[in-house]
Amino acid sequence: MSSIDFSIIPEDDSGFLDIPVGAPRSLSDLFASSVAETSPNSDLSGHDILATSDETAEQTDFVEKKEYFKKIKHGNQAQNAGEIRVQLAQKYCEKLNEYSEETHVVFSPSRLQNPISGGTCSAMAFDFADKYLDKRPTMTPDEIFDEIAPRFENSSLLFRTRQAVFNTLRKDDRYPPADFMRDKVGSMLRAYGRSITDSSEMFYMKDTLTLNSSSKEIKQAMKKIEQFLNEHSEGVFVIRCVVLEDNDKGELFGHSTTLIREKDKSYFYDPNEGIYELPKETEALVDILKPMMQKWCVPFGRIYRIQ
């Protein structure tokens, strides 16, 4: 892949479009220098989704009834609505569009919304995965979470600006995609210099209103998830759950989360919730996905392994 010309992005603007896939990771944090890291606490369709503080507490109460789930760091999407850095977002759209032939996706600056509302889960979940991958070679999971958790205690100007860019994506009709669902997630990860190495079949949890784990839909979903995870005992994954729609985004709205699988345990990051430690068994992941998919009425899900 060709490199991005960083010279168009002033140092005081910084940018998360700084890492071509395969480029040295020393470039990785230029974006964060001026927006959020000085104050770490500070969707694909129209929008991603978010929880209010009351809704977050309600979901947490449900999840924590499972004895094998352990919340290790709290987080939410507070500050997700507000102003963005418009000129910087426009530059990001322009740079990402240099890869449209490769990604089959176009980002439309005319669709940028300022202020933004509706959630920043994709920006937060993808950033979480990127930061974990950066630090994993030299740090343990607990050390990584201790270091990066303040960044994800809530949303920020950094995440709002990134999400505003992601919200502008649409199919690029010049390059019909073979797998648009995968391509659009890949196009956003491209902004971090990340790529998708494998993806699960799409799973469907129609019966999310009853949370009936014995239903045919849940069983079929568990089978697809288990088949995929059996092929990837370790790794970093993003999970995108959506309401499908016949439009230029392929969905009405959705929610993004991150899954990390280490040798002996897994970790699940939900921007509305924080970081959970859970067993590696498929049932544990399904049990944490079911209430989330029910709450947000996003019945279609897919898992993407990234590098």
What integer pLDDT is reported at residue 205 of this predicted model? 84
What integer pLDDT is reported at residue 50 of this predicted model? 56
Least confident span in 146-155, 223-232, 293-302: 293-302
List pLDDT tens digits, range 20-46: 443 333 223 323 333 333 333 334 444
pLDDT at 223 over 60: yes
Q: What is the mean pLDDT of the chain?
A: 81
Contact predicate 266/285, CB 8 Å: yes
Topology (CATH level 3) of domain 42-306: Cathepsin B; Chain A (3.90.70)
Q: What is the mean pLDDT of residues 257-276?
A: 96
Cα–Cα distance for residue pair 225/218, rounded to 1 Å: 10
Q: What is the mean pLDDT of residues 235-241?
A: 98
What integer pLDDT is reported at residue 178 of this predicted model? 84
Q: Could you tell me how many helices (H) and strands (E) the chain has, helices first?
A: 9, 10
User: In this structure, how many other beta carbons lie within 10 angstroms of the beta carbon of residue 263?
Assistant: 7
Answer yes or no: pTM beyond 0.95: no
Contacts of 164 (CB under 8 A, 6+ apart): 84, 89, 112, 113, 114, 116
Give the domain ranges of the chain.
Answer: 42-306
- Measured between its terminal Cα atoms, the distance across the chain in Å is 15
Chain Cα centroid distance, residue 38: 23
Q: What is the mean pLDDT of residues 184-211?
A: 86
pLDDT at 1 over 70: no
**Residue 113 burial (C-beta neighbours within 10 Å; 0-12, 13-18, 19+):** middle
